[in-house]
Structures are given as C-alpha cells and as structure tokens.
A and B are shown apart, each in its own frame.
Chain A
Amino acid sequence: MKKCSRQRFFEEKNRQKERKGAADSAVEGADDAEDKEMSDRVKIRKSSGYGESFRAAFPHTIPVLTGYLFIGMAFGVMIQEKGYNFLWAMFMSLCCYAGSGQYLAVNFFVPGVSFLQMIFMEFMVNIRHIFYGLSRLERFSKMGKKRWYMIFSLTDETYSLLYITKTPEGMDESKFLFAIAVLDQSYWILGSGIGALLGEWLPFDGTGIDFAMTALFVVILVEQWMEEKKRLFELIGLGCGLFCLLVFGAENFILPTMLLMMAVLLSGKQLFMREKEEEGHAD
C-alpha cells in the first residue's frame, strides 16, 4: 500500500523533472535520496503529533546518541570517582547539561573552590553558547513555551544537529526540533547514569576516557570540512585558537580566542560573503 503511493509520488516527481528538462542521469543519481524523502513525507502526512515528531526525529539524532552515550559515560565515571552515585550523575545531567561544562564542574566537588571562581570558569568555557543562540533567534521565537527548553538545551551537539537537519515537509517544525532536543538530553542523562554505575561496579582505569570529547569535536570538524564553504571558518577558528593558546596559555585563552575570531570574521566580512556568493553561482 505504502509502496504504491510512494511509486505514484515518484512517477509524478519524475514527470515534473522531465517537464523541466532535467537530464535523465541526474534524476537517476538522486533517486535514492528522493525515494527516502518521499516515504518520510507519506508517513508524516497522516498526522503531526508528538509521537510522530519523535519518530521522525530519532534517526537524525543517532550520531548524537552514540557520541552522548560515550562522553556522558565518561562524565559518569569521573563524577563517580569523586564519590557521587548514578543518581547524582543523572541529576546533574538533567539540570546542567553541558559536556565541557560538566567535565569542568567535576573539579568543583572538592573543598576550597569558591562559587565566584566556579561562575567565572563555567562562563568562560560556555561563552561560545552566546553565539549559538544568535542563529537560532528567529526559529526559537516562534516556538512558544517550548523555546525555554530549546534555549536551555542548546549544547554544541544539539546546536550542530539543528543546524544541519531540515524539518521534513508537512511536519510541525517546533515539535520536530523539540523532539530532537529532548532525545539528545535523554541520551546524555542515560550515558551519565550508565557511566557512574559502571565505575561503581567494575572499577577500571578511566585515564584518558575524556578523549571522547576531543574525538566528538574532531568528528564534527571533519563533517563540516566536507562542506567546502565552511572550511575557511574552521581554519580561522583553529588558527586563532592555536595562536591565543601559545600567547595566553591553557588557562586563559578562550576569551581572547573568541575576540580574535570575531575581529577576523568581521574585518573579512565582505571578502568572505563575496566568496560564498560565487560558490553559490557555481552550483
């Protein structure tokens, strides 16, 4: 039944393409992607409730599922080593929800760290989040009360995912984006709990497990590298980061890096935007 309607969509789409005079070979190349898109659309047309939204969002969140289980587990192991059980780990992941921010916070659970120091360090590590929101302003403002959760849950990974994921046609966008955000945090909470339990039950040497966070960002970097127009900006980030690390040292280089990056990006605005437009024409 589904196959029939899918077939019909297909033929219709092909006919449209022929009318437009598109080359046959190009149509064939795009067949698979279109086929999948069509079946998604058929499924979604029936309804657009929360259940449907979560079902449609799940496949898109699988990359974050794998990443979050790992780095969430790493966090769980680390906080467990400070004497906090899985309930603490999960509670913290529910309230705080930030990879690097929580890794950093593990160091606060010892005597002698002042609250002012904590606020300053957390602010420095998470200052990049200020800029994430900028590109989400319009979208989130249309989401009613759900926008508060969207703002709360705007982690590096959720941000990247929202950035690259297109809402399927016919789907309520705010429910779809909300579903992505909720699924992502549930993986994070689950990973933290599993990590804390594993650390308790089978004590093992967790040295180096925090490399999961590095690996995650490297993977995102490689993914974005494949989109050619982002390479230049990634290189600017790498270059400014490296420069400021050498000049200011490991403890204080995040703020100068952000400022330097903004200066470079703003001073080169016209050049960068022109290049982007040219690439657009080439396509």
Chain B
Amino acid sequence: MQISVFRSLMIIAVVAGTIFFTRLFPFLFFPPGKKIPPMVQYLGKVLPPAVIGMLVIYCLKEVQLTAYPYGIPEAVSVLAVVLLHLWKRNNLLSIGAGTVLYMFLVQTVFTA
C-alpha cells in the first residue's frame, strides 16, 4: 500500500458513489408514474446491443496496430474466442481458453 488506509477507504467511497450515480440517473429523472418519452424507450431498446459493440472497442483501445506486436496477440485471441464460442457455445471455455491463450502470447511469444 502506497497510500493511507483512510485515503484507500475514501477512494472506494468515491468510486462506489460515482458508479451508483450513473445507475441511479435514469430512475431519478424518469420516476415511476412519469410517462417515458417514446424516444427514450426506443433508445432503451436499441442502445444496449450497440453499447456491447462499443465495449469491445473500449477493451481493445490500447492496441497499437503500427508498432510491435501490431495487435497480433489481441487479433488471434479475439478470433479464438469467437470461433470457440460459435463451435461450443460454452462461456467458461470461450473466456477461459481465450484469456489463457492471450496470456501465453504476451508473456512468451510476443515479449517486448
């Protein structure tokens, strides 16, 4: 620990508060009984699948395509996860094997 226990607890409180606020937000602004505008309802339906697409990009945001290792470990591992999942459709297998493969690639094959 490089910082005090008190500061560590404060950090947890601040992070917890911020995360809860983002989740509470729609419930504060659209309380029960108040009619939800059709536009908001529509977004509630179509935004979630789009957000999953965005999250995949978010997870891969640090990948450098122009410098070694050119995103190869990520590309190989993501492809492995997709193919494994299409083949077996087993979440544990897809996530577990993909992660182990990625760790192997970045630790032993594509070392800096």
Shortest CB distance A272–B (Å): 7
> Is there an interface contact between B95 and A119, defined as CB atoms closer than 8 Å?
no
Chain A residues in 8 Å Cβ range of B46: 233, 265, 272
CB atoms of A207 and B106 under 8 A apart: yes
Among A31-39, A43-51, A218-226, which stretch is in contact with chain B? A218-226
A278-B19 Cα distance, complex, nearest whole Å:
39
Residues of chain B within 8 A (CB-CB) of A163 are 48
Q: Are A134 and B41 in contact (CB under 8 A)?
A: yes
Secondary structure at chain B's binding surface: helix, strand, loop or mixed?
Answer: helix
A216 touches B12 (CB 8 A): no
> Which of B25, B54, B91, B98 is in CB contact (< 8 Å) with A237?
B54
Judging by beta carbons under 8 Å apart, are A151 and B24 in contact?
yes
Shortest distance from the beta carbon of A278 to any chain B beta carbon, whole Å? 16
**A133 contacts B27, C-beta separation under 8 Å:** yes
Q: Is A215 touching B81 in the complex (CB atoms < 8 A)?
A: yes
Q: In the complex, how many angstroms separate the beta carbon of A165 from the nearest chain B beta carbon?
A: 14
Q: A122's contact among B15, B74, B106, by CB below 8 Å, is which?
A: B15
Closest to A131 in B: B47
CB-based contact A221/B56 at 8 Å: yes
The 8 Å CB contact of A105, one of B11, B30, B61, B99, is B11
A215 touches B16 (CB 8 A): no
Contact partner of B25 among A91, A100, A133, A224, CB < 8 A? A133
Bits for A223-260, please: 1 = Cβ < 8 Å to B, else 0. 11000001001111111111001000010011001100
For A69, the closest partner residue in chain B by CB is B92
Contact of B48 among A66, A132, A218 (CB under 8 A): A132
- B99 shortest CB reach to chain A, Å: 5
Q: Which residues of A contact B8 (CB under 8 A)?
A: 84, 88, 109
Docked CA distance A254–B10 (Å): 26
Q: Is the CB of A215 within 8 A of B99?
A: yes
Q: Which residues of B contact A272 (CB under 8 A)?
A: 46
Q: Judging by beta carbons under 8 Å apart, are B52 and A237 in contact? A: yes
- Given contact pairs A91-B12, A105-B11, A222-B86, A152 touches B20 in the complex (Cβ within 8 A): yes
A27 CB within 8 Å of chain B = no
Measured between beta carbons, the chain B residues less than 8 angstroms from A211 are 74, 77, 98-99, 102-103
Q: A109-B1, A119-B14, A222-B94 are in contact. List 7 more A-B contacts (CB 8 A).
A: A63-B91, A100-B55, A119-B18, A128-B51, A211-B77, A214-B74, A265-B43
